[in-house]
Structure 1
Amino acid sequence: MLCAFKNPAVLRQDALASLVVFLVALPLCVGVAVASGVPAELGLITGVVGGLVVGFLPGSALQVSGPAAGLTVLVFEAVREFGLSMLGAIVLAAGVLQIGLGLLRFGRWFRAISVSVVQGMLAGIGLVLIFGQLYTMAGVHQPRSGLEKVFGIPGLVGDIATSRSALTAFATGLGTIVVLVGWKKLPAKVRQIPAPLAAVALATAGTAIGGPDVAHVKVQGLFEAVQPPGASDLGSLGSVAVLGTVLAFALIASAESLFSAAAVDRMHDGPRTHYDKELVAQGVGNTVCGVLGALPLTAVIVRSSANLQAGATTKVSRILHGLWLLLFTVLLPTVIGIIPLAALAGVLVHAGCKLIPVKEVRPLWREHRGELVVLAITGVAIVTTSMFEGVVLGLVLAVAKSAWETSHIHLDTRELTGGRLVVALTGNPTFLRLPRILQTLEALPRNQPIELDLTAVRHLDHACRAALQNWGARHHTTGTEPVRIRVPATENDSTSASAGAAGRSA
């Protein structure tokens, strides 16, 4: 960052980049707050903290932090269940947990999370965001659960068709989406204005000039919106339900931030992200947001990519973007009040669509169908249950899939001169493959000498070893030579042993 102040050209470029990031962040901060069911100012406060607090801290120099669409559903559920006053306490506790994880060097381990689970999480969030914000676009109260939002779409269509106010509001939101989609096809000079800002500005101007009766963002002032958690709120953190929400906030925000950092690192040639330091920085930011009663923050790829595309090379750009957000919130709060809610809902519907990894479906179907199954089940589970339960289910499925694929085995049976059968087992036999192994072994004749060769086995778990020993002891009829089991030299110094001896030594 010091090099920016020593080099006027770098400082000027970073200052210009900060304005671009500010213009991208402004409608998103407000939109995420409104969609989360909290005052619009709380989203702007989180954006300010992301710039003026996290922006100074080490970790990733060029990614930008702020309120994210990916946490909208979780925040909305938390506010609805525990109340707005508890939001600050939950975010504060999540921030402290993130700091602890960073200091314990857990940052790098978040990179081990299955990509299909993360994509499924984003897809589920995107679907819930889309279905929920369609109701806001029409000025209709959205249902409580994800399934109710999905099954309520026919009724929503009926409301839009029969209500003039709903149709007007929905047209405003739909027009916002059209601008967002078509903005990238306009000339380069026009595209210098960020698409979200242009779409919201046009919708605001249209409703102001045309005078349609649509709902607008409610403004209560910056200082009035700040609600630090009280002693009773902090005391409620001991509840199991609240602790589960804290854990969900911390893990999902951390995963999204660190995956964003990995993506940002691929976009530039500058210093790489230090994941543990970045996790601590995100935790400090969320701790401050919690103290202020604001939304949780994460690193966000949309603002980060805008920062890089605008030519930023140091931390100055993301710090200054936080300053511009603070000045706007303090000096021009009434401007927020003229923004139609339907326009912000349109921005979030568009953001929700971008969260769904449509381009990944075909390659996964061709090459990694198991990963596609994990992605789909995680997304559907989030829509039908909740964010936390869906992600946990996705992680369990990913681990089970990995265990199944790792325990690959091959059975080869050959007959030697004299009638002896040799069954060679290779790979990683585990309890997951026992049905197939035992089915093959039990089909072998009981009146021929059999040798089970395990010398090429890389790993043999306890359940599989016990089952093989039991099969060897019981397989042959009376008068036939007992099954001989050859184990790796590291497990048994003898190269062959009877089934009974193997039971003692293996």
Structure 2
Amino acid sequence: MTFSTLNVSILRRDLPASFVVFLVAIPLSLGIAVASGAPIAAGLIAAIVGGIVAGLLGGSPLQVSGPAAGLTVIVASLVQTYGWRATCTITALAGLLQLALGAAKVARTALAVSPAVVHGMLAGVGVVLVLAQAHVVLGGRPQHSPLSNVRELPGQLISSHSHTVMLGLLTIAVLLAWERLPKGLSPTALHWIPAPLPAIAIATLTSWALGWETPRVDLPDTLLGDWHAPALPHGRLPEIVGAVVSVAVVAAVESLLCSVAIDRARPQGVPRADLDRELLGQGAANAASGLLGGLPIAGVIVRSTANVAAGARSRASTVMHGFWVLVLALSCGPVIEQVPLAALAALLVVLGVKMIDTARVRDLRHHREAPAYFATLIGVVLLGLGEGVLLGIGISAVMALRRLTRLSVRVEQALPVPIQAMPGSPGPAGQWHVIVEGTLTFLGVPKVTKVLQQVPARTSVDLDLNVDFMDHAAFEAIHEWRVAHERQGGRVDIDEVHEGWYERAVTGDMSPPRKSSPSARWWAPWANRRRRHEELDAPDVSPSALLLAGVREYHGRTARLVKPIMAELAFEQKPEHLFITCVDSRVVPNIITASGPGDLFINRNVGNLVPRFGSRTHDDSVAATVEYATNVLDIRTITICGHSNCGAMAALLAGGTEIDHLPALSRWLKHGNHSLARFLATEPEEGVPPLTRLCQINVIQQLDNLLTYPWLRNRVEAGKLELVGLYLDLESAEVNILDRSTQSFVPVPDEAPGDTDNTRALT
């Protein structure tokens, strides 16, 4: 980007965005200062320093920093305990701590805190904020604790000041109404004005016009007119250190989470966020803010979102917004002093309610993290911010430990009909199936042994160990049960679906875990897999029984694993490739491409043929698939995959005499005549059997057949569609790719597809 282009971008995008952020920042900064019990000027200083210092030095170009509502509870407590000047010192020290953490490059570590705890903390702060500022809206003063605020609220309602209450309610009404303005009925410009500005402006004008007596903002004569050097806090050293760490960590986590959220929404061309640099920028801003008498600073999601929505493209918007706040603070003090405190309190009440995000609770319940959220929320309200966060982290740790040791054990009698008792074993016999899934440690031993004891003696047991870890206590419990069961005349067959924990313990092999035998894998044919059910061993088992046995195995092993993926795909598919291949049962597209549900849009037909455009033997089945894939699904790649020993190609070589009795197949194979003609027109290759050569030539011809469709050729020539040829050699199980320049199939290269010429569009 040239210098002139950069200037145009700043003037066209960042300058207007900076005004929008400035309009959001002014009322919020004033309100947060009031709620924190700090001087009003402290909020403006923090907004200026956050915009300029964090904007210039931070690693997230579009993030806007300033006084944050999430820190109000901490700051209010510090002001009450140590006084304002000492709180400024704590803020500066917290900034130095953030600088040290940023230099140590531990920014990512802060993100290890569970989002449930972070959002629970913000919700708790929201509750505390609402309870405290409700008293200001009613014309009173907030108490020292949330519980005191709740107790005093009824009395405050009885003795409320009418003018103050009316201004607060008017501010709330404007805030709610402004956000609900219909876009089609209101001027477009109104939607660029953030709701807090008109809400505060209307309340201020109403109070001034009607001459209402109500507490208002009190600014010093100059922004730093009553500035004093920060003072050392007096108190116990561990408590002071804890205060510094609390401010530093909470501000850092909130800033980094905000940075990650804004990074996901950044427009194209904006560089990714550097979290370590962002932490350094936040540290420098907090150190400067503390020294100048400002509030603690953090990245703020409300201002940052407004910045992105207003079209910002660089950090210039953030920096300029800080300059606008500075200009306003130096030149418009008398105007700011007309703002009623009740209006700012009402603004914070609405902001506090928004911090209690019910949608977030639904998401956390879906992921079973709601207990940590509510524990943190209640802890912040009843115990304090630090204690509530520690409580939430503790609950999260317990829940994580519980998940890591989660174990599922179920038992079922595998056969719907009884089997013959084993020779020499009087009494009951049968086939039982026990499935153990999860992490098998000593904590799960009682659960496993309880289930295994339900299995009758003298029975055959298939024990599936689908576990990612097994400790020695668990091994001993299972092994002792196995030995006892076999001693009583039973039989135990242990199948380890993943790593061979039991096998290694039995053999004493302490080498790293190895994967279980390929013969037990899901992708092996039915005939080659280990028989887990007697119904598969029966000589007269019907094909449908084999199919249903496979479905039952899918339900038992695979369905639960693919369920989350299938749930996402249930109402919409977004495949990236159209894969045209043969109906041959030996060709399994998802195996040879290592793909899963939703990846491939597949068309299978005899001989992987594509009828040419306007063919005399009319057939629209393949064309319909290609048409839907390209025009509806917007697929960008079409692959033709042939294979060795193709029966369709063998029939073409034989002249079709072997399939005369199959009229439909004979008609279909006429679409392969162009492949046969191409085969006859090319020279034989030494050492390459004729059938192999025809199978490969057929892939090349079908790619050419695709280009006979005018609309498809246009997409290929425009670079909107890529055509790829693959050839599967069944004997070696290897896939080769067509090199169009040499008209030959070559091994798939080890490099990424974008780094090789072999996967370029075959045009």
Q: TM-score range by the shorter chain?
A: 0.7 to 0.9
Contact 1:11–1:316 (CA under 8 A) maintained in structure 2: no
Contact 1:4–1:314 (CA under 8 A) maintained in structure 2: no
What are the superposed Cα offsets for residues 189-237 of structure 1, whole Å, 9 maximum, x if unpaired? 333332211111111111111111111112224223433323x33x86x
Q: Counterpart in 2 of 1:87?
A: 87
Q: Counterpart in 1 of 2:18?
A: 18
Q: Note if 1:181 corresponds to 2:176.
A: yes
Query: Higher strand share goes to which structure?
Result: 2
Q: CA 1:493–1:344 in structure 2 vs 1: closer, same or farther (change >3 Å)?
A: closer
Contact 1:131–1:149 (CA under 8 A) maintained in structure 2: yes
CA apart distance, 1:69: 0.9
Q: Counterpart in 2 of 1:129?
A: 129
Contact 1:39–1:225 (CA under 8 A) maintained in structure 2: no
Q: Secondary structure at the match of 1:410?
A: strand
Identify unmatched segments of 5+ residues in structure 1: 161-165, 498-506
In structure 1, give the amino acid aligned to 2:358. Answer: V
Partner Cα distance (2:357, 2:281) in 1: 28
Partner Cα distance (2:375, 2:460) in 1: 44
Query: Higher helix share goes to which structure?
Result: 1
In structure 2, give the amino acid aligned to 1:67. Answer: P
Q: Secondary structure at the match of 2:287?
A: helix
Q: How does the TM-score come out when normalised to structure 2?
A: 0.58
Q: CA 1:152–1:424 in structure 2 vs 1: closer, same or farther (change >3 Å)?
A: same
Q: Secondary structure at the match of 1:218?
A: coil
What are the superposed Cα offsets for residues 39-85 of structure 1, whole Å, 9 maximum, x if unpaired? 01011101111112111114111111000111111111111122212
Q: Note if 1:250 corresponds to 2:264.
A: no
| Structure 1 segment 374-413 matched on structure 2, within 5 A | 374-411=372-409
Q: Counterpart in 1 of 2:227?
A: 226
Q: Secondary structure at the match of 2:469?
A: coil
Partner Cα distance (2:452, 2:3) in 1: 70
Q: CA 1:429–1:148 in structure 2 vs 1: closer, same or farther (change >3 Å)?
A: farther
Q: Secondary structure at the match of 2:219?
A: coil
What are the superposed Cα offsets for residues 94-129 of structure 1, whole Å, 9 maximum, x if unpaired? 112212222222212333332222221111111111
Contact 2:445–2:473 (CA under 8 A) maintained in structure 1: no
In structure 1, give the amino acid aligned to 2:468. Answer: R
Partner Cα distance (1:95, 1:325) in 2: 22
Q: Counterpart in 1 of 2:158?
A: 158
Partner Cα distance (2:433, 2:208) in 1: 85
Q: Counterpart in 2 of 1:301?
A: 301
Q: Note if 1:495 corresponds to 2:506.
A: yes
Would you say how many aligned residue pairs link Structure 1 and Structure 2? 482
| Structure 1 segment 24-423 matched on structure 2, within 5 A | 24-160=24-160, 166-184=161-179, 185=181, 186-220=186-220, 221-230=222-231, 232-233=232-233, 239-269=237-267, 270-365=270-365, 367-368=366-367, 370-411=368-409
Partner Cα distance (1:197, 1:457) in 2: 58
What are the superposed Cα offsets for residues 358-405 of structure 1, whole Å, 9 maximum, x if unpaired? 22334544x33x222222222122111111111111122122222212
Partner Cα distance (2:10, 2:482) in 1: 78
Contact 1:179–1:199 (CA under 8 A) maintained in structure 2: yes
Q: Which moved more, 1:83-92 or 1:9-18?
A: 9-18
Contact 2:411–2:451 (CA under 8 A) maintained in structure 1: no
CA apart distance, 1:285: 0.9
Q: Secondary structure at the match of 2:188?
A: coil
Structure ranking higher on relative contact order (CA contacts 8 Å, 6+ apart) = 1
Contact 1:423–1:450 (CA under 8 A) maintained in structure 2: no
Partner Cα distance (2:241, 2:357) in 1: 30
CA apart distance, 1:413: 5.5
Partner Cα distance (1:127, 1:120) in 2: 10
In structure 2, give the amino acid aligned to 1:297. Answer: I
Contact 1:422–1:452 (CA under 8 A) maintained in structure 2: yes
RMSD: 3.4
What stretches of structure 1 move > 6 A for 4+ residues in a row? 419-424, 442-445, 447-455, 470-477, 484-488
Partner Cα distance (1:175, 1:434) in 2: 64
Partner Cα distance (2:52, 2:78) in 1: 26
Q: Secondary structure at the match of 2:65?
A: strand
Partner Cα distance (2:172, 2:110) in 1: 34
Partner Cα distance (1:491, 1:298) in 2: 51
Identify unmatched segments of 5+ residues in structure 2: 414-420, 509-763
Contact 1:64–1:304 (CA under 8 A) maintained in structure 2: yes
**Identity of matched residues, %:** 36
In structure 2, give the amino acid aligned to 1:495. Answer: V
CA apart distance, 1:188: 2.6
Partner Cα distance (1:383, 1:67) in 2: 21
CA apart distance, 1:89: 1.8
Partner Cα distance (1:494, 1:313) in 2: 59
Contact 1:99–1:280 (CA under 8 A) maintained in structure 2: yes
Q: Which moved more, 1:486-495 or 1:104-113?
A: 486-495
Q: CA 1:335–1:485 in structure 2 vs 1: closer, same or farther (change >3 Å)?
A: farther
Q: Secondary structure at the match of 2:230?
A: coil
Q: Note if 1:458 corresponds to 2:453.
A: no
In structure 1, give the amino acid aligned to 2:54. Answer: V
Q: CA 1:495–1:355 in structure 2 vs 1: closer, same or farther (change >3 Å)?
A: same
